[in-house]
Structure 1
Amino acid sequence: MKHGNIPNRVLLFDGVCNLCNGAVQFIIKRDPDGLISFSSLQSETGQRLLKLNGLPTEHFDSFVFIEDGKVYTKSTAAIKVFRHLRGAWRFSVVLLAVPRPVRNMVYSLIAKNRYKWFGKKNECMLPSPAIKKRFLP
């Protein structure tokens, strides 16, 4: 089921964050069937999806995972993405048993310090031609 030209599973990420870009590359390697599509939070599509879902359009401190019209943020978004990956990563769904405030406290600590710890780019990453179709404009 697609909403307009938006795939069923879209991960919105901070396009200038080195940690976030690394996470996207990690996901791509473990999702060879291409179940998950991507868009940077800063892109036209990312901004449109944020607005459509009533989310802030200027604070990029969370992954946003949209699956079948449902929106997940922070640690829940990461766990929902991991369950689609090959290998043992899909078992990370057990982390949903950890109370959300505890999970999000750890997530927020990392998000708050991600530029300091991992750095940032001046502009969003450009996907290679082989995976470009998985990135929304």
Structure 2
Amino acid sequence: MDAGGPIILFDTDCVLCSSMVAFVLARESAPVLRFAGAWSEEGLALAARHGLARQDLNDTFAVIDGSVALLRSDAGMIVLRHLRAPWRWLAVLRLVPRPLRDAVYGFVARRRYRWFGQRSDCTVVPADQRHRFIGVRGRPATS
């Protein structure tokens, strides 16, 4: 997973996070984003290479863009840049001060399991996109 576009490092047991992956897959402007399970051996190693501990991954998803790890709302802003319009237009939220963006992000992140649920490996990985995932067992897509 060293060559290519940014890598989204996400909680594969979080229904909200897995839904976000499905949302991104359906709305990307080009298939360049890659996805890594945060709790997998590969995901934890990738996080560690970028100075992130397991606890960091409990609080946020991360986007590894080259040699930089982006967290919380900054990670979301990078993902928005890779979506088709009108979704990419939400990147205007970058004008909102980071502390405020991150406070809203943290509010939702702390409640994500309670509000959206948690299931072991709930991510659905489309067969034709399997090559873009690492450390994600996921459920097969149904036809």
TM-score of the pair, normalised by structure 2:
0.86
Q: What pairs up with 1:5-84 in 2 under 5 angstroms?
A: 5-31=2-28, 33-58=30-55, 59-84=57-82
1:99 deviation in Å?
0.8
Q: Percent identity?
A: 34
Aligned counterparts of 1:125 and 1:83: Cα–Cα separation in 2: 22
What is the 5 A alignment of 1:73-112? 73-112=71-110
Map residues 120-131 of structure 1 onto 2, 5 A cutoff: 120-131=118-129
2:19 and 2:123 in contact (8 A); partners too: no
SS at structure 2 position matched to 1:55:
coil
Q: Which runs of 5+ in 1 are unaligned?
A: none
Residues 20-44 of structure 1 show CA distances to partners (whole Å, capped at 9, x for unaligned) of 0000000000116311000111112
- Partner AA of 2:43 in structure 1: G
Query: TM-score, normalised to structure 1's length?
Result: 0.90
Cα RMSD after superposing both structures: 1.6
Shift of 1:114: 0.3
Secondary structure of the structure 2 residue equivalent to 1:130: helix
Q: Distance in 1 between matches of 2:10 and 2:38?
A: 5
Given that 1:8 and 1:69 are in contact with CA atoms closer than 8 Å, whether structure 2 keeps it comes out as no
Moved over 4 A (4+): none
Q: Give how far 1:7 is off.
A: 3.2
Cα pair 2:22 2:124 within 8 Å, conserved: no
Paired letter, 1:75: S
Deviation of residue 48 (structure 1)? 0.9
Aligned residues: 134
Structure 2 unaligned spans of 5+: 136-143
Asked if structure 2 preserves the Cα contact closer than 8 Å seen for 1:13 and 1:20, the reply is: yes
Q: Map Cα deviations across residues 70-95 of structure 1 (whole Å, 9 max, x no partner).
A: 21100110111011111111122211
Secondary structure at 1:42 match in 2: coil
- Partner Cα separation in structure 2 for residue 101 and residue 126 of structure 1: 32
- Distance across 1 between alignment mates of 2:124 and 2:41: 15
